[in-house]
Amino acid sequence: MSTPDSPQLFNISRRQFMRRCSMIAAMTGLPLWFIERQQLAAEELPAKAPTPNDRPGFALIGCGGQGRFDATNAARYGEILAVCDVDANHAALAAKQFTVDGKVPDIYSDFRKVLERPDIHCVINATPDHWHTLVNIAAAKAKKDIYGEKPLTLTIDEGRHVVGAIRDNGVVLQTGTQQRSSPRFRLACELVRNGRLGTLKEANVWLPAGLRDGPFKSQPVPAGLNWDFWQGQTPAVDYVKERCHTTFRYWYEYSGGTMTDWGAHHNDIAYWAVGLLAPTKVETKVLSDPIPGGYTTFAEYQVNYTYANGVGLNIKTTKDDSIFGSVVNKDGQRNGIRFVGSDGWIWVNRDEITASDPHLLTAPLPETAVRLYKSNNHMGNFVDCVRSRALPICDVETGHRSATMCHLGAISMRTGLKLEWDSTSEKFVGWHAHAANKYLKREMRAPYDYSFVS
């Protein structure tokens, strides 16, 4: 009869462990050594003691598709107690979705009222980009922890305001750049950081092309939508259906097109791999201009960044009719990132990781290798940090720096200038600094300025 410490049982356990790791490797395409390390680390984690916040109360602010997706993830860890949207139809849809055992979340139209509730511990900020900053600052002042959708802010200047509010109030903010919690992207970045490609030469990013349509006609404001509140800090205009909800991101007034949408994901991974705060130079080439009276962001473009260590980050848009997901352009190039070094390349996106030589992936890193922050679940990491008060994987400063990279490209497109950036002062320097620094902030329309949340 075998004892718990007998070699027979140990071998059976080891065989089961290896079988499980092999199955995961086969399903994910990740190398076996990487899966083994992950599984061993998971088994070594101590059980967490229960705390009063084991099921924190969540409020969803911004009840569109992405917000409801985020709240669905959050509902695994806490209770959705309130939903808020300036579109009553969206709020009602969310309330219905998150009704549990007959308990309906309370519905609000003004996020400031939600933040007055002591039973709300965490806020999911899934508003359009031009509302991210004010909602995040208000939540921080109310001492609520925040899961904030990307990009963190509408402008670079807003980023410093948000960082200050989070730090001053001691709250946790997780930026919704969930690719940081993907083992596939973490593996790629660890390999780059540890010199697996030799000297890193460049990172090439492919983003989906944006929408280029118009002109659009003004329409009556739909019932249930507070159009003035929705516009917030931006200039007041007549209601146009294409300005609102899903396609808001193709209007410069509210967002930055795919440069700040998908770019917030892939540029964040490039930032993680390169390991420097920001590039020092940026120049762009606009490949198609907006149609007068239509969307106001650029649909097709190239952006070229240069870092102080000589590494280049090159962004190109794919030409595809799909807005979301891993698109494929006419050359078969999928939405993703290719890291190129002196000894080969690694390609990674949400579906796969491949390399010029399979050995670049399958050879284990040494025990002394640089290890990056590990998270396998972005919302789970946020809730863990709500409990521990540790920094999440995409803390406010990281979210700000990732968004800054996207804004630098958008500003270069707007000005048509080759620009130099100082990441310490967070200002443009050099010949065109005066023209470019005007784009660091935007005038906020009253009353939807910083005083709105003071």
> Which domains, ranges and CATH numbers included, belong to the chain?
7-44 (no CATH), 183-372+397-453 (3.30.360.10)
**38: confidence class by pLDDT, cuts 50, 70, 90:** low
**pLDDT value of position 335:** 87
Q: Who contacts 334 (Cβ-Cβ below 8 Å, separation ≥6)?
A: 206, 318, 326, 327, 328, 349, 351
Is 152's pLDDT higher than 80?
Answer: yes
Is 181's pLDDT higher than 90?
Answer: yes
pLDDT mean over 194-200:
97
Q: Who contacts 291 (Cβ-Cβ below 8 Å, separation ≥6)?
A: 212, 213, 214, 215
Residue 101 DSSP SS3? coil
Structure tokens at 73: 């993830």
Contact 127, 138 (CB under 8 A): no
- pLDDT, tens digit, for every residue of 238-297? 999 999 999 999 999 999 999 999 999 999 999 999 999 999 999 999 999 999 999 999
Among 65, 43, 6, CA closest to 323: 65
Is 121's pLDDT higher than 80?
Answer: yes
In angstroms, the Cα distances linking 275 to 155, 178, 215, 267 are 22, 18, 42, 12
pLDDT mean over 224-230:
98
CA 158, CA 258: separation in Å to the nearest integer? 20
**318: confidence class by pLDDT, cuts 50, 70, 90:** confident
Burial of 291 (0-12, 13-18, 19+ CB in 10 A): middle
Query: Omega of the bond prior to 447 within 30 degrees of 0, cis?
Result: yes
Structure-token match 């396609």, residue found: 247
pLDDT mean over 440-445:
98
pLDDT mean over 225-234:
98
Residue 38 DSSP SS3? helix
**pLDDT value of position 49:** 44
The C-alpha R_g of the chain, in whole angstroms, comes to: 23
Structure-token match 């201009």, residue found: 289
**pLDDT value of position 329:** 52
Is 339's pLDDT higher than 70?
Answer: yes
Structure tokens at 297: 């962001």
- The whole-angstrom distance between residue 215's C-alpha and the CA centroid of its chain comes to 30
**Cα dihedral 127/278/191/258 (nearest 10):** 40
CA 321, CA 216: separation in Å to the nearest integer? 19
Q: Who contacts 417 (Cβ-Cβ below 8 Å, separation ≥6)?
A: 283, 432, 435, 436
**pLDDT value of position 2:** 41
**14: confidence class by pLDDT, cuts 50, 70, 90:** low
**pLDDT value of position 204:** 96
Is 51's pLDDT higher than 80?
Answer: no
**24: confidence class by pLDDT, cuts 50, 70, 90:** low
Among 16, 29, 21, CA closest to 347: 29
Q: Who contacts 285 (Cβ-Cβ below 8 Å, separation ≥6)?
A: 301, 302
**pLDDT value of position 258:** 95
pLDDT mean over 107-121:
98
pLDDT mean over 313-334:
63
What b/e sequence results for 409-431 when a residue is b if at least 16 CB atoms lie within 10 Å of its CB, and e otherwise?
Answer: bbbbbbbebebbbebeebebeee
**36: confidence class by pLDDT, cuts 50, 70, 90:** low
Between residues 206 and 35, the one the model is more confident about: 206
**pLDDT value of position 54:** 80
CA 225, CA 221: separation in Å to the nearest integer? 7
**pLDDT value of position 397:** 98
Contact 125, 150 (CB under 8 A): no
Instruction: Find the range with the poorest average confidence among 21-25, 282-286, 359-363, 395-399.
Output: 21-25
- The whole-angstrom distance between residue 205's C-alpha and the CA centroid of its chain comes to 15
